[in-house]
Amino acid sequence: MAIRPYTENYTVQFTFWILTSRTRRPTESEAAMTCLSSRDRRAATESTPSPQRRDGKFRNAAPRERPGFGKTFGIAWRVLTQKPKTTVPRAPIPVQKLDAAALAAAPDASLFRLGHSTLLLKLAGEFWLTDPVFSERASPVQWAGPKRFHAPPISIAELPPIKGVILSHDHYDHLDHAAVLELAPKVEMFITPLGVGDRLIAWGIPAAKVRQLDWWQQTALAGVRLVATPAQHFSGRGVSDGNSTLWASWVILAGDLRVFFSGDTGYHADFKTIGERFGPFDVTFMETGAYDAQWPDVHMQPEETLQAHLDLRGRWLMPLHNGTFDLAMHAWHEPFDRILALAQSRDVPLATPGMGERLSLANPQAGQRWWQSVEAAPRAAAVAQAA
């Protein structure tokens, strides 16, 4: 049984899927969720020339390390047999429930964190979503794979009409098949990197509701300008479609407001270029989680997150890609602890809204360090019980 490299198929996040996909046929629903046929995908993506595509695959600006079979097997074995208990919170994650009335009453330039990298933004009087994941598991199947620590603060049915959904790439913790289909009737436009939109169209989203961009291309919708910018990552939802779609970060410009959404990425030189061309940014939404020394090219350590924020010429930093799924070996709260200490050491203002909590993008506030109370709760309960 061959195990494909982590850098092609997210071995760490979906060990079960990778280990079993070579020994069983996927069900019809799994196959539909996973990818287009190789022939259809090639026809769709290769019809749009891109400097990022070579030999039928999208590439990073800087080559990534290929771990090989031995290292990949070691990573999978470590995940399966040495997972620390601290990767999952010992107490419930606090969630502030949202409803349509609360969203309607929110002022413009508001943000609500819904979990992981899913943000609900109110810009120019309209609502926007980034990487909407509402399913119980970030996985090709809902009976296995990384499970949510908390429920979403609002259901898709309760959401207002969405002007645009902004997608960074096609991994399961960022592109949720079930959520896309449920959202589709209330979404005006899906804005994606090249190839990701072809997946949506194959799932039944009308082509007229999809805009696909290469790095440095831009589009405008309802007074908001969106620029697809480089990221250092990879793509794929199955065992044979690695890097067949592009990954991206996003510059989001609404009037005088400038924000940056990193998507998933390792640290790279183009952060400085993005900052020079589009900064300074009022707020940067930066990946801070699911990192490990074993995969340094595709997820940033917190020190790199802070440096990327500085390269971008960001003012407020908001850490993402944490607090919802167990996707690595570090303690679930470690990304928050480390980025908080680093930000304080460099006098960088850090915004850490809880799940469902509103953050003003025009006048950000630090918010509560809510993860600290989650960690403290079991200890306090143990002390009370002992007394």
Q: Looking at residue 349, what is its pLDDT?
A: 98
What does pTM read for this prediction? Answer: 0.89
Q: Looking at residue 45, what is its pLDDT?
A: 57
Q: Looking at residue 204, what is its pLDDT?
A: 98
Q: Looking at residue 183, what is its pLDDT?
A: 98
Q: Looking at residue 17, what is its pLDDT?
A: 40
Q: Looking at residue 27, what is its pLDDT?
A: 40
3-class DSSP state of 316? strand
The per-residue pLDDT for range 61-87, each reduced to its tens digit, is 998 777 777 777 888 888 888 899 999
Those residues of the chain that have pLDDT short of 50 are: 1-39, 41
Of 194, 251, 186, nearest in space to 224 by CA: 251
Q: Looking at residue 69, what is its pLDDT?
A: 77
Cα separation values, 35 from 40, 48, 183, 202, Å: 10, 19, 19, 8
Q: Looking at residue 381, what is its pLDDT?
A: 61
Q: Is 125 exposed, middle or buried (0-12, 13-18, 19+ CB in 10 A)?
A: exposed
What is the C-alpha to C-alpha distance for residues 386 and 125, in angstroms, rounded to an integer?
A: 53
Residues 371 and 353 sit within 8 Å (Cβ to Cβ): no
